[in-house]
Amino acid sequence: MDRHAIITGIDMDNIVVIAFVYLVGIVVLLTFNELNYRRLKLEGEITRKFAHFTATLATVPFPYIFPSHWYVLVLALLFFIVLAVTQHSKQLKSIHDIKRKSMGSYLLPLSIYVTFLVSCLLENKFYFILPMLILAICDPMAAILGINIKKYNGRIKIGKRKIDKTWLGTTAFFVTSMIITMIALYFHREIFDFKTIWLSLLVAFAGTTGELISWRGSDNLSIPLTVIVVLMIFL
C-alpha cells in the first residue's frame, strides 16, 4: 500500500468518526431539549426553535469536514427518520408540540443537504456557510420575537389578506441577516467596500422575502435557496 492510500484511509476513518460524533451530538441535543421541555414546562415553539438554532449552526463547518455530499445525505436521512418515527409515536414533543401545522422540521435536513450539494457542485463553501448562518440565527429570532411580543407588532397585510408573519419578526430577520451577511462577506472577500454593503442589503431582502412568502415551515428551504440565487448572480 502506497503512502497516498494510507493517508486516504486515515482521512476516511477520521471523517467517519466525525460523522458519528455529529450523530451522537444530535441525540444529545434532542435529549437535552426534551428534558428542558418537560422539566421547565417550556412551550414547544421555544424548544423547537432552540433545536433549530443549535442543529443548523452546528452544520456550518460541514464544507471543511466532509469532502462529499454523500456523508451529509446520510446524516440528513437519519435525522429525517428520527423526526418521522418520533412524530408517529407521539414522542419528542419538544419538537412536535406546536399548535400550527408545519413541515419545517422535515424540510430542515432536506435544506441542509440541498444547500451543501449546491455548494459542492459550484465548488464554493461560502454558498453553504452564509445560508446556514442566516437560517440558524435569523429565522428563530424572527419567530420568537414575532410570537412573544404582541404590543405594536401586528401581522403583515398584503392587499386585503393578512399573512402569518409579524412586522417585528420580519424586521428582525432583515436586520440580523444584513449584519450577518456584511460580516461574512467581509471575511470572505477580505475587503469592506460598497459592494459589501449593497450585496448585504440584497441578500437580506431576498432572504426576508423567502421567509415572508413561506408557508407551513417551508422557509427552512426557501430562505437558503433565495440566498444562494443572489450569491450566484452577484457575488
The separation between CA 106 and the C-alpha centre of its own chain, rounded to angstroms, equals 12
Long-range pairs for 177-186: beta carbons < 8 A, 24 or more residues apart: 177/134, 177/138, 177/203, 177/204, 177/207, 177/208, 178/203, 178/204, 180/130, 180/133, 180/134, 180/137, 180/138, 181/130, 181/134, 184/126, 184/129, 184/130, 184/133
What pLDDT shows up at residue 224? 95
- Per DSSP, the three-state class of 53 is helix
pLDDT at 186 over 60: yes
Q: Is 210 exposed, middle or buried (0-12, 13-18, 19+ CB in 10 A)?
A: buried
Q: What is the pLDDT of residues 104-133, one digit of tens each?
A: 788 999 999 999 999 999 999 999 999 999
Instruction: Look up residue 83 and give its three cell numbers.
Output: 423526526
DSSP assignment, residue 98? -
d(CA 207, CA 138): 9
Amino acid at 126: F
Q: What percent of the chain has pLDDT over 70?
A: 88
What is the model's pLDDT at position 158?
Answer: 65
CA distance 89 to 3: 50
Of 156 and 63, more confident: 63
- pTM here is 0.88
Q: Is the pLDDT of residue 20 over 80?
A: yes
Write the pLDDT tens digit of every residue in 33-61: 889 888 888 887 788 888 889 999 999 99
